Structure 1
């Protein structure tokens, strides 16, 4: 079975209707380099489906994020969100404060059971997202870095 079919089956098991728009958004996420914006996804999709609107892309990305099919990554210092399919193990992201690139931290350093013990009964943890901000190797090597966070 293909990766697309695996994702569609996962959506079906969660009770989600598979619309043509959702299918092409997933196909575009599979095709593009990692971490496209909603506008980049929309532009890619419009090459074969010119009628799709940016609102439709945003609305479906929101649903796919809420269902755990897509990860939303918030880039620091920008009003930009980028997206990736939530494939494989749960993981987090490293985001460069200088160039804005995001890369995967291939494991999760967060122990939700320990966090749940800390917050006790006042809050039920059902998931988490962690984005780490700093400087990539290329930007760290530059001598004219912006002032680092303190």
Structure 2
């Protein structure tokens, strides 16, 4: 069900539904937490040995660009993780110690105030917010 919903969004945005793109989306659906591009690659490679890592990156970047996938930066690790954006716009809490990323169920950004701060010369089309700190487990270990 979710796969078809996502494919419909892609079609609405004028994107072709290639086997590789379908495989990337299905792989993201397979993960319970946010995978790295390499984890997506390894998942797909198990059933599609001819797929290349550059193809995975290209498809992930396109899906991020059109708003189907969110990219989350993990600090200090020079790594991004990815999630399907099927539940609407939201942000993330990222642990600086273990890298766990959790969804913040709402957007705390005042869009109108943000546009006012940016000024009339800059048109905002979107935003992303990652809040860094320590998860409960890591916070307890720091004491």
Give the distance between the partners of 1:143 and 1:124, measured in 2 at CA: 42
Q: Give the C-alpha shift of residue 113 in structure 1.
A: 1.5
Q: Is the 8 A contact 1:89 1:107 kept in 2?
A: no
Unaligned runs of 5+ in 2: none
> Secondary structure at the residue paired with 2:92?
strand
> Secondary structure at the residue paired with 1:4?
helix
Give me the CA root mean square deviation: 0.9
- 1:83 equivalenced with 2:82 (yes/no): yes
Instruction: Give the match for residue 127 of structure 1.
Output: 126
> Secondary structure at the residue paired with 1:113?
helix
Instruction: Give the match for residue 46 of structure 2.
Output: 47
Instruction: Give the match for residue 99 of structure 1.
Output: 98
Give the distance between the partners of 1:96 and 1:87, measured in 2 at CA: 23
Q: TM-score, normalised by structure 1?
A: 0.92
Q: Deviations over 1:1-31 (max 9, x none)?
A: x111110010000000110000000000001
Alignment of 1:101-120 (within 5 A): 101-120=100-119
Tell me which stretches of 4 or more aligned residues in structure 1 moved more than 6 Å: none
Q: Deviations over 1:55-76 (max 9, x none)?
A: 0000000000001000000001
Q: Is the 8 A contact 1:29 1:84 kept in 2?
A: yes
Give the distance between the partners of 1:90 and 1:3, measured in 2 at CA: 17
Q: Give the C-alpha shift of residue 143 in structure 1.
A: 3.4
Unaligned runs of 5+ in 1: 145-150
Q: Give the C-alpha shift of residue 34 in structure 1.
A: 1.8
Instruction: Give the match for residue 15 of structure 2.
Output: 16
Q: Deviations over 1:98-142 (max 9, x none)?
A: 111111111100011211122221211000000000000001001
Q: Deviations over 1:70-111 (max 9, x none)?
A: 000000111100000001121101111111111111110001
> How many residues are paired up?
143
